[in-house]
Chain A
Amino acid sequence: MNNNDTIKKTLIVAVSLCLVCSALISFSAVELRDLQEANKTLDKQSKILSAAGLLKEGGDVTELFESIEARIVNLETGKFDYQINLDEYEESAFSRNPSTSIELTANNDIALLKRRENFQTVYLHYSMEKLNAIILPVRGYGLWGTMKGYLALQPDLKTIIGLEFFDHKETPGLGGEIDNPKWKATWKGKEVYSDSGDVLIRVIKGSVDRSSSQAKYQVDGLSGATITSNGVTNLLSFWLGDMGYGPLINTLKDQESKDV
Protein backbone atom coordinates (compact mmCIF):
# COMPACT_ATOMS: atom_id res chain seq x y z
CA MET A 1 0.00 0.00 0.00
CA ASN A 2 1.53 3.28 -1.02
CA ASN A 3 0.82 6.59 0.67
CA ASN A 4 -1.44 7.90 -2.10
CA ASP A 5 -4.53 7.72 0.03
CA THR A 6 -3.55 10.19 2.71
CA ILE A 7 -5.71 13.29 2.90
CA LYS A 8 -2.71 15.49 2.15
CA LYS A 9 -1.81 13.62 -1.03
CA THR A 10 -5.45 13.51 -2.16
CA LEU A 11 -5.76 17.28 -1.78
CA ILE A 12 -2.47 17.95 -3.55
CA VAL A 13 -3.40 15.77 -6.51
CA ALA A 14 -6.92 17.22 -6.76
CA VAL A 15 -5.81 20.86 -6.56
CA SER A 16 -2.88 20.53 -8.93
CA LEU A 17 -4.95 18.62 -11.46
CA CYS A 18 -7.61 21.32 -11.39
CA LEU A 19 -5.00 24.03 -11.85
CA VAL A 20 -3.35 22.31 -14.81
CA CYS A 21 -6.66 21.54 -16.51
CA SER A 22 -8.12 25.00 -16.05
CA ALA A 23 -4.89 26.63 -17.23
CA LEU A 24 -4.96 24.51 -20.38
CA ILE A 25 -8.58 25.35 -21.14
CA SER A 26 -8.23 29.06 -20.47
CA PHE A 27 -5.14 29.18 -22.63
CA SER A 28 -6.80 27.46 -25.58
CA ALA A 29 -10.00 29.49 -25.19
CA VAL A 30 -8.08 32.78 -25.26
CA GLU A 31 -5.73 31.68 -28.03
CA LEU A 32 -8.48 30.41 -30.32
CA ARG A 33 -11.13 33.05 -29.61
CA ASP A 34 -10.17 35.31 -32.50
CA LEU A 35 -10.25 32.43 -34.96
CA GLN A 36 -13.62 31.26 -33.65
CA GLU A 37 -15.15 34.74 -33.79
CA ALA A 38 -13.80 35.19 -37.30
CA ASN A 39 -15.36 31.88 -38.30
CA LYS A 40 -18.74 32.94 -36.94
CA THR A 41 -18.68 36.28 -38.71
CA LEU A 42 -17.52 34.68 -41.93
CA ASP A 43 -20.27 32.09 -41.74
CA LYS A 44 -22.91 34.78 -41.19
CA GLN A 45 -21.56 36.97 -43.98
CA SER A 46 -21.41 34.12 -46.47
CA LYS A 47 -25.03 33.22 -45.69
CA ILE A 48 -26.14 36.84 -46.20
CA LEU A 49 -24.29 36.99 -49.51
CA SER A 50 -25.64 33.65 -50.56
CA ALA A 51 -29.25 34.71 -49.81
CA ALA A 52 -28.74 37.74 -52.03
CA GLY A 53 -27.21 35.56 -54.73
CA LEU A 54 -23.91 37.42 -54.49
CA LEU A 55 -21.72 34.57 -53.32
CA LYS A 56 -19.44 33.53 -56.13
CA GLU A 57 -17.52 30.28 -56.30
CA GLY A 58 -14.02 30.95 -54.99
CA GLY A 59 -14.84 34.58 -54.16
CA ASP A 60 -13.50 36.14 -50.99
CA VAL A 61 -16.40 36.54 -48.55
CA THR A 62 -14.93 39.49 -46.65
CA GLU A 63 -14.22 41.34 -49.89
CA LEU A 64 -17.67 40.64 -51.34
CA PHE A 65 -19.30 41.69 -48.09
CA GLU A 66 -17.84 45.19 -48.41
CA SER A 67 -20.57 46.01 -50.92
CA ILE A 68 -23.18 45.37 -48.24
CA GLU A 69 -24.32 47.99 -45.80
CA ALA A 70 -25.78 47.00 -42.46
CA ARG A 71 -28.36 49.22 -40.78
CA ILE A 72 -30.38 49.02 -37.61
CA VAL A 73 -34.09 49.34 -38.13
CA ASN A 74 -36.74 50.15 -35.56
CA LEU A 75 -39.40 47.52 -36.14
CA GLU A 76 -42.12 49.56 -34.42
CA THR A 77 -41.79 52.66 -36.56
CA GLY A 78 -40.25 51.01 -39.60
CA LYS A 79 -37.54 53.67 -39.74
CA PHE A 80 -33.79 53.30 -39.68
CA ASP A 81 -32.24 53.97 -36.31
CA TYR A 82 -28.84 55.58 -36.14
CA GLN A 83 -28.56 55.77 -32.33
CA ILE A 84 -27.61 52.16 -31.75
CA ASN A 85 -24.09 51.15 -32.58
CA LEU A 86 -24.01 48.27 -35.08
CA ASP A 87 -21.25 46.49 -33.22
CA GLU A 88 -23.17 46.62 -29.97
CA TYR A 89 -26.35 45.21 -31.42
CA GLU A 90 -27.00 41.62 -30.45
CA GLU A 91 -30.26 39.97 -31.41
CA SER A 92 -30.48 37.54 -28.49
CA ALA A 93 -29.73 40.21 -25.86
CA PHE A 94 -32.25 42.64 -27.38
CA SER A 95 -35.03 40.07 -27.65
CA ARG A 96 -34.61 39.03 -24.00
CA ASN A 97 -34.44 42.52 -22.52
CA PRO A 98 -37.98 43.74 -21.70
CA SER A 99 -37.07 47.37 -22.48
CA THR A 100 -35.99 46.56 -26.04
CA SER A 101 -38.54 43.91 -26.93
CA ILE A 102 -42.25 43.16 -26.75
CA GLU A 103 -44.04 40.07 -25.64
CA LEU A 104 -46.03 38.38 -28.38
CA THR A 105 -49.55 37.16 -27.76
CA ALA A 106 -50.99 33.86 -28.95
CA ASN A 107 -52.73 35.74 -31.79
CA ASN A 108 -49.72 37.32 -33.39
CA ASP A 109 -46.97 34.88 -32.42
CA ILE A 110 -47.31 32.73 -35.52
CA ALA A 111 -43.60 31.92 -35.68
CA LEU A 112 -43.57 30.87 -31.98
CA LEU A 113 -40.93 33.35 -30.88
CA LYS A 114 -42.49 34.37 -27.51
CA ARG A 115 -40.71 37.77 -27.62
CA ARG A 116 -39.73 40.04 -30.48
CA GLU A 117 -36.94 42.59 -30.30
CA ASN A 118 -37.79 46.18 -31.29
CA PHE A 119 -34.67 46.58 -33.36
CA GLN A 120 -33.12 44.44 -36.05
CA THR A 121 -30.15 44.66 -38.38
CA VAL A 122 -31.03 44.65 -42.04
CA TYR A 123 -28.55 44.51 -44.88
CA LEU A 124 -28.68 46.61 -48.02
CA HIS A 125 -26.77 45.87 -51.14
CA TYR A 126 -26.07 48.74 -53.50
CA SER A 127 -24.58 48.51 -56.93
CA MET A 128 -23.86 51.74 -58.79
CA GLU A 129 -25.48 53.75 -55.98
CA LYS A 130 -28.77 51.98 -56.57
CA LEU A 131 -30.43 49.62 -54.15
CA ASN A 132 -29.97 46.15 -55.52
CA ALA A 133 -31.16 43.92 -52.71
CA ILE A 134 -32.43 44.10 -49.16
CA ILE A 135 -31.60 41.22 -46.87
CA LEU A 136 -33.78 40.62 -43.82
CA PRO A 137 -32.92 38.30 -40.92
CA VAL A 138 -35.84 35.95 -40.22
CA ARG A 139 -36.39 33.21 -37.69
CA GLY A 140 -39.11 30.91 -36.43
CA TYR A 141 -39.82 27.55 -34.90
CA GLY A 142 -39.56 24.43 -37.03
CA LEU A 143 -39.89 20.87 -35.75
CA TRP A 144 -36.99 20.61 -33.30
CA GLY A 145 -35.89 24.18 -32.75
CA THR A 146 -35.64 27.70 -34.06
CA MET A 147 -34.65 28.06 -37.69
CA LYS A 148 -32.65 31.21 -38.38
CA GLY A 149 -32.05 32.55 -41.81
CA TYR A 150 -31.90 35.45 -44.23
CA LEU A 151 -34.47 36.45 -46.82
CA ALA A 152 -33.28 38.61 -49.69
CA LEU A 153 -35.77 40.76 -51.62
CA GLN A 154 -35.39 42.69 -54.82
CA PRO A 155 -35.71 46.51 -54.76
CA ASP A 156 -39.43 46.17 -55.65
CA LEU A 157 -39.69 44.82 -52.06
CA LYS A 158 -41.82 41.86 -53.02
CA THR A 159 -39.82 39.55 -55.28
CA ILE A 160 -37.59 37.02 -53.56
CA ILE A 161 -33.94 36.72 -54.52
CA GLY A 162 -33.19 33.93 -52.11
CA LEU A 163 -33.79 32.36 -48.72
CA GLU A 164 -30.92 30.90 -46.75
CA PHE A 165 -30.89 29.30 -43.30
CA PHE A 166 -27.73 29.46 -41.22
CA ASP A 167 -28.89 27.75 -38.05
CA HIS A 168 -31.54 25.07 -37.58
CA LYS A 169 -32.00 21.72 -35.89
CA GLU A 170 -34.25 20.00 -38.45
CA THR A 171 -33.82 16.29 -39.22
CA PRO A 172 -31.08 15.78 -41.82
CA GLY A 173 -32.59 14.50 -45.06
CA LEU A 174 -36.14 15.52 -44.14
CA GLY A 175 -36.56 19.01 -42.67
CA GLY A 176 -32.82 19.50 -43.10
CA GLU A 177 -33.52 19.71 -46.83
CA ILE A 178 -34.19 23.43 -46.30
CA ASP A 179 -30.46 23.58 -47.05
CA ASN A 180 -30.85 21.71 -50.34
CA PRO A 181 -29.63 23.99 -53.15
CA LYS A 182 -32.29 22.66 -55.54
CA TRP A 183 -35.07 23.58 -53.13
CA LYS A 184 -33.54 26.94 -52.29
CA ALA A 185 -33.37 27.73 -56.00
CA THR A 186 -37.15 27.37 -56.29
CA TRP A 187 -37.61 30.47 -54.11
CA LYS A 188 -36.03 32.75 -56.65
CA GLY A 189 -38.57 35.01 -58.36
CA LYS A 190 -41.47 34.12 -56.06
CA GLU A 191 -43.49 37.04 -54.75
CA VAL A 192 -44.32 37.61 -51.11
CA TYR A 193 -47.06 40.27 -51.22
CA SER A 194 -50.31 40.40 -53.10
CA ASP A 195 -51.18 43.69 -54.81
CA SER A 196 -53.12 44.74 -51.73
CA GLY A 197 -50.12 44.07 -49.49
CA ASP A 198 -51.12 40.80 -47.84
CA VAL A 199 -48.42 38.23 -47.21
CA LEU A 200 -49.27 35.37 -49.54
CA ILE A 201 -46.00 33.48 -49.83
CA ARG A 202 -46.25 29.94 -48.53
CA VAL A 203 -44.72 26.51 -48.70
CA ILE A 204 -47.49 24.20 -49.85
CA LYS A 205 -47.93 20.46 -49.48
CA GLY A 206 -46.78 18.69 -52.63
CA SER A 207 -45.69 20.44 -55.81
CA VAL A 208 -46.80 23.78 -57.15
CA ASP A 209 -49.24 23.77 -60.05
CA ARG A 210 -47.45 26.03 -62.48
CA SER A 211 -50.59 26.97 -64.39
CA SER A 212 -52.32 28.26 -61.27
CA SER A 213 -52.59 32.00 -60.76
CA GLN A 214 -51.26 31.49 -57.21
CA ALA A 215 -48.08 29.74 -58.40
CA LYS A 216 -45.93 32.83 -57.94
CA TYR A 217 -46.75 32.86 -54.23
CA GLN A 218 -46.13 29.14 -53.69
CA VAL A 219 -43.09 26.97 -53.10
CA ASP A 220 -42.94 23.15 -53.25
CA GLY A 221 -43.26 21.47 -49.86
CA LEU A 222 -40.50 19.27 -48.49
CA SER A 223 -41.69 15.68 -48.55
CA GLY A 224 -41.72 14.11 -45.10
CA ALA A 225 -41.26 17.48 -43.44
CA THR A 226 -44.68 19.06 -43.15
CA ILE A 227 -43.97 20.72 -39.81
CA THR A 228 -40.72 22.23 -41.07
CA SER A 229 -42.49 23.43 -44.23
CA ASN A 230 -45.24 25.02 -42.16
CA GLY A 231 -42.59 26.55 -39.93
CA VAL A 232 -41.01 28.24 -42.93
CA THR A 233 -44.41 29.56 -44.05
CA ASN A 234 -45.12 30.84 -40.55
CA LEU A 235 -41.83 32.58 -40.05
CA LEU A 236 -42.14 34.35 -43.39
CA SER A 237 -45.73 35.41 -42.63
CA PHE A 238 -44.60 36.75 -39.29
CA TRP A 239 -41.51 38.65 -40.40
CA LEU A 240 -43.10 40.08 -43.53
CA GLY A 241 -46.24 41.05 -41.65
CA ASP A 242 -47.06 44.04 -39.45
CA MET A 243 -45.19 42.62 -36.46
CA GLY A 244 -42.05 42.12 -38.52
CA TYR A 245 -40.67 44.19 -41.37
CA GLY A 246 -44.07 45.36 -42.63
CA PRO A 247 -43.59 48.94 -41.34
CA LEU A 248 -40.05 49.12 -42.77
CA ILE A 249 -41.24 47.96 -46.15
CA ASN A 250 -43.99 50.60 -46.14
CA THR A 251 -41.44 53.31 -45.25
CA LEU A 252 -39.15 52.24 -48.04
CA LYS A 253 -42.06 52.19 -50.52
CA ASP A 254 -43.11 55.71 -49.50
CA GLN A 255 -39.56 56.94 -49.96
CA GLU A 256 -39.41 55.40 -53.39
CA SER A 257 -42.65 56.99 -54.54
CA LYS A 258 -41.41 60.40 -53.28
CA ASP A 259 -38.15 59.97 -55.17
CA VAL A 260 -40.08 59.30 -58.34
Chain B
Amino acid sequence: MSKAKEVLLNPLFNDNPIALQILGICSALAVTGTLYITLIMCVALTTVVTLSNLFVSLIRNHIPTNIRIIVQISIIATLVMLVDEVLQAFDYESSKTLSVFVGLIVTNCIVMGRAEAFAMKNGPLMSAIDGFGNGLGYSVILIIIAIIREFIGAGTFYGIEIMPLTTNGGWYLANNFFLTPASSFFIIGFTIWALRQWKTEQIEEPEFKISKNSLETEKRAI
Protein backbone atom coordinates (compact mmCIF):
# COMPACT_ATOMS: atom_id res chain seq x y z
CA MET B 1 0.00 0.00 0.00
CA SER B 2 1.44 3.35 -0.96
CA LYS B 3 2.00 5.92 1.76
CA ALA B 4 -0.71 8.28 0.47
CA LYS B 5 -3.31 5.54 0.26
CA GLU B 6 -2.44 4.40 3.74
CA VAL B 7 -2.71 7.93 5.14
CA LEU B 8 -6.07 8.36 3.42
CA LEU B 9 -7.68 5.03 4.31
CA ASN B 10 -6.24 4.29 7.73
CA PRO B 11 -8.54 6.76 9.58
CA LEU B 12 -11.61 5.06 8.10
CA PHE B 13 -11.52 1.88 10.16
CA ASN B 14 -8.00 1.14 11.42
CA ASP B 15 -7.41 4.42 13.22
CA ASN B 16 -10.82 6.05 13.31
CA PRO B 17 -10.83 9.46 15.04
CA ILE B 18 -14.11 8.76 16.83
CA ALA B 19 -14.04 5.01 17.37
CA LEU B 20 -10.38 4.55 18.30
CA GLN B 21 -9.05 7.96 19.29
CA ILE B 22 -12.41 8.92 20.88
CA LEU B 23 -12.17 12.51 19.58
CA GLY B 24 -14.93 14.78 18.34
CA ILE B 25 -17.64 13.04 20.36
CA CYS B 26 -19.53 16.26 21.18
CA SER B 27 -20.68 16.94 17.64
CA ALA B 28 -21.29 13.23 17.09
CA LEU B 29 -23.93 13.53 19.81
CA ALA B 30 -25.40 16.84 18.78
CA VAL B 31 -25.91 16.84 15.03
CA THR B 32 -26.88 13.24 14.30
CA GLY B 33 -30.65 13.59 14.64
CA THR B 34 -31.32 13.60 10.90
CA LEU B 35 -29.15 12.32 8.09
CA TYR B 36 -29.30 15.47 5.94
CA ILE B 37 -27.99 17.75 8.69
CA THR B 38 -25.31 15.19 9.51
CA LEU B 39 -24.11 15.14 5.90
CA ILE B 40 -23.80 18.93 5.85
CA MET B 41 -21.84 18.79 9.09
CA CYS B 42 -19.55 16.06 7.70
CA VAL B 43 -18.84 18.09 4.57
CA ALA B 44 -18.14 21.17 6.71
CA LEU B 45 -15.79 19.33 9.05
CA THR B 46 -13.96 17.48 6.28
CA THR B 47 -13.41 20.77 4.44
CA VAL B 48 -12.10 22.46 7.55
CA VAL B 49 -9.78 19.65 8.64
CA THR B 50 -8.36 19.18 5.11
CA LEU B 51 -7.68 22.87 4.57
CA SER B 52 -6.39 23.50 8.09
CA ASN B 53 -3.93 20.63 7.70
CA LEU B 54 -2.86 22.02 4.33
CA PHE B 55 -2.26 25.57 5.57
CA VAL B 56 -0.66 24.58 8.84
CA SER B 57 1.69 22.29 6.92
CA LEU B 58 2.51 25.03 4.39
CA ILE B 59 3.77 27.40 7.06
CA ARG B 60 4.98 24.75 9.53
CA ASN B 61 8.64 25.70 9.07
CA HIS B 62 7.91 29.29 10.05
CA ILE B 63 5.68 28.74 13.07
CA PRO B 64 7.42 29.76 16.31
CA THR B 65 7.05 26.93 18.85
CA ASN B 66 5.81 29.28 21.56
CA ILE B 67 2.71 30.37 19.67
CA ARG B 68 2.10 27.32 17.49
CA ILE B 69 -1.21 26.38 19.13
CA ILE B 70 -2.51 29.93 18.72
CA VAL B 71 -1.41 29.95 15.07
CA GLN B 72 -3.22 26.65 14.45
CA ILE B 73 -6.36 27.85 16.18
CA SER B 74 -6.36 31.10 14.18
CA ILE B 75 -6.16 29.18 10.93
CA ILE B 76 -8.89 26.76 12.01
CA ALA B 77 -11.15 29.55 13.29
CA THR B 78 -10.77 31.49 10.04
CA LEU B 79 -11.73 28.43 8.01
CA VAL B 80 -14.71 27.71 10.25
CA MET B 81 -15.99 31.27 9.89
CA LEU B 82 -15.63 31.03 6.13
CA VAL B 83 -17.56 27.75 6.05
CA ASP B 84 -20.26 29.34 8.21
CA GLU B 85 -20.56 32.35 5.92
CA VAL B 86 -20.78 30.15 2.83
CA LEU B 87 -23.40 27.95 4.47
CA GLN B 88 -25.53 30.97 5.41
CA ALA B 89 -25.32 32.21 1.85
CA PHE B 90 -26.04 28.99 0.01
CA ASP B 91 -27.93 26.66 2.34
CA TYR B 92 -29.79 28.92 4.75
CA GLU B 93 -32.17 26.24 6.04
CA SER B 94 -29.44 23.90 7.29
CA SER B 95 -27.33 26.75 8.59
CA LYS B 96 -30.32 27.66 10.76
CA THR B 97 -30.50 24.12 12.13
CA LEU B 98 -26.75 23.66 12.55
CA SER B 99 -26.18 27.24 13.75
CA VAL B 100 -23.86 26.93 16.71
CA PHE B 101 -22.44 23.54 15.81
CA VAL B 102 -20.66 24.82 12.72
CA GLY B 103 -18.96 27.40 14.93
CA LEU B 104 -18.05 24.66 17.36
CA ILE B 105 -15.93 22.89 14.73
CA VAL B 106 -13.19 25.16 16.12
CA THR B 107 -13.24 23.17 19.32
CA ASN B 108 -13.47 19.82 17.56
CA CYS B 109 -10.49 17.88 18.83
CA ILE B 110 -10.01 16.10 15.51
CA VAL B 111 -9.11 19.30 13.64
CA MET B 112 -6.68 20.55 16.25
CA GLY B 113 -5.33 17.03 16.88
CA ARG B 114 -4.48 16.44 13.23
CA ALA B 115 -2.88 19.88 12.86
CA GLU B 116 -0.64 19.32 15.86
CA ALA B 117 0.09 15.62 15.37
CA PHE B 118 0.42 15.36 11.61
CA ALA B 119 0.52 18.66 9.74
CA MET B 120 3.32 20.11 11.87
CA LYS B 121 5.62 17.27 10.79
CA ASN B 122 4.60 16.40 7.22
CA GLY B 123 4.44 17.99 3.77
CA PRO B 124 1.38 19.92 2.53
CA LEU B 125 0.04 17.25 0.15
CA MET B 126 0.35 14.42 2.65
CA SER B 127 -1.19 16.61 5.38
CA ALA B 128 -4.17 17.48 3.20
CA ILE B 129 -4.70 13.79 2.44
CA ASP B 130 -4.47 12.98 6.14
CA GLY B 131 -7.02 15.69 6.95
CA PHE B 132 -9.37 14.44 4.28
CA GLY B 133 -9.00 10.86 5.51
CA ASN B 134 -9.76 11.84 9.07
CA GLY B 135 -12.74 13.87 7.89
CA LEU B 136 -14.01 10.74 6.14
CA GLY B 137 -13.38 8.62 9.23
CA TYR B 138 -15.45 11.09 11.27
CA SER B 139 -18.16 11.12 8.61
CA VAL B 140 -18.44 7.31 8.46
CA ILE B 141 -19.26 7.08 12.18
CA LEU B 142 -21.58 10.10 12.13
CA ILE B 143 -23.51 8.76 9.16
CA ILE B 144 -23.93 5.35 10.86
CA ILE B 145 -25.25 7.06 14.02
CA ALA B 146 -27.53 9.37 12.04
CA ILE B 147 -29.04 6.53 9.98
CA ILE B 148 -29.82 4.53 13.12
CA ARG B 149 -31.18 7.53 15.05
CA GLU B 150 -33.33 8.82 12.23
CA PHE B 151 -34.67 5.34 11.42
CA ILE B 152 -35.64 4.36 14.95
CA GLY B 153 -36.52 7.85 16.14
CA ALA B 154 -38.57 9.04 13.19
CA GLY B 155 -39.04 6.01 10.94
CA THR B 156 -37.41 7.77 7.99
CA PHE B 157 -34.26 7.45 5.93
CA TYR B 158 -32.91 10.74 4.57
CA GLY B 159 -36.35 12.23 5.13
CA ILE B 160 -38.08 9.46 3.14
CA GLU B 161 -40.73 7.64 5.12
CA ILE B 162 -39.84 3.96 5.61
CA MET B 163 -42.01 3.09 8.60
CA PRO B 164 -45.20 5.20 8.71
CA LEU B 165 -45.57 6.81 12.13
CA THR B 166 -48.68 6.45 14.26
CA THR B 167 -48.87 10.27 14.38
CA ASN B 168 -49.23 10.24 10.58
CA GLY B 169 -51.74 7.40 10.59
CA GLY B 170 -49.23 4.53 10.25
CA TRP B 171 -48.25 1.65 12.52
CA TYR B 172 -44.81 2.62 13.85
CA LEU B 173 -44.68 4.20 17.28
CA ALA B 174 -41.49 6.28 17.17
CA ASN B 175 -38.93 5.73 19.90
CA ASN B 176 -38.45 9.27 21.12
CA PHE B 177 -35.31 8.38 23.05
CA PHE B 178 -33.44 8.07 19.77
CA LEU B 179 -34.21 11.69 18.97
CA THR B 180 -32.32 12.85 22.04
CA PRO B 181 -28.52 13.24 21.83
CA ALA B 182 -28.02 10.80 24.70
CA SER B 183 -28.93 7.88 22.44
CA SER B 184 -25.74 8.56 20.45
CA PHE B 185 -23.68 7.41 23.43
CA PHE B 186 -25.17 3.95 23.12
CA ILE B 187 -24.83 3.85 19.36
CA ILE B 188 -21.20 5.03 19.49
CA GLY B 189 -20.53 2.43 22.18
CA PHE B 190 -21.99 -0.39 20.11
CA THR B 191 -20.18 0.84 16.99
CA ILE B 192 -16.86 0.76 18.82
CA TRP B 193 -17.64 -2.72 20.11
CA ALA B 194 -18.57 -3.94 16.60
CA LEU B 195 -15.43 -2.39 15.11
CA ARG B 196 -13.23 -4.04 17.70
CA GLN B 197 -14.85 -7.42 17.12
CA TRP B 198 -13.89 -7.03 13.46
CA LYS B 199 -10.45 -5.51 14.00
CA THR B 200 -9.36 -7.33 17.11
CA GLU B 201 -5.97 -5.57 17.23
CA GLN B 202 -7.84 -2.46 18.42
CA ILE B 203 -8.86 -4.14 21.67
CA GLU B 204 -6.88 -2.49 24.42
CA GLU B 205 -5.06 -4.42 27.12
CA PRO B 206 -7.02 -4.05 30.34
CA GLU B 207 -5.20 -1.73 32.70
CA PHE B 208 -5.72 -4.10 35.61
CA LYS B 209 -7.09 -7.58 36.07
CA ILE B 210 -9.74 -8.49 38.57
CA SER B 211 -8.27 -10.96 41.01
CA LYS B 212 -10.03 -14.22 41.78
CA ASN B 213 -12.91 -14.10 44.18
CA SER B 214 -11.31 -14.42 47.61
CA LEU B 215 -14.17 -16.52 48.99
CA GLU B 216 -13.69 -19.08 46.26
CA THR B 217 -9.95 -19.35 46.86
CA GLU B 218 -10.57 -19.73 50.58
CA LYS B 219 -13.14 -22.44 50.05
CA ARG B 220 -10.73 -24.37 47.94
CA ALA B 221 -8.11 -24.08 50.67
CA ILE B 222 -10.49 -25.58 53.16
Contacts and interface: CB of A to CB of B under 8 A. Distances in A.
Interface residues of B, number: 34
Interface residues on A, range: 20 to 34
Interface in B83-102: 85-86, 88-90, 92-93, 96
Contact of B154 (A9, A171, A173, A223): A173
Residue among A32, A171, A173, A174 with the highest chain B CB neighbour number at 10 A: A173
A29 B96 CA distance: 17
Contact of B168 (A4, A174, A182): A182
Contacts of A40: 92
Contacts, number: 81
A91 interface: no
B82 A28 contact: yes
Contacts of B167: 177, 180, 182, 223
B180 interface: yes
Given A9-B62, A28-B82, A172-B34, 14 more contacts: A4-B61, A13-B59, A13-B62, A13-B67, A13-B71, A14-B67, A21-B77, A36-B85, A36-B89, A40-B92, A167-B96, A171-B179, A182-B167, A224-B176
Interface of B: 33-34, 59, 61-67, 70-71, 74-75, 77-78, 81-82, 85-86, 88-90, 92-93, 96, 153-154, 167-168, 174, 176, 179-180
Interface of A: 2, 4-6, 9-10, 13-14, 17-18, 21, 24-25, 28-29, 32, 35-36, 39-40, 42-43, 167, 171-174, 177, 180, 182, 223-224
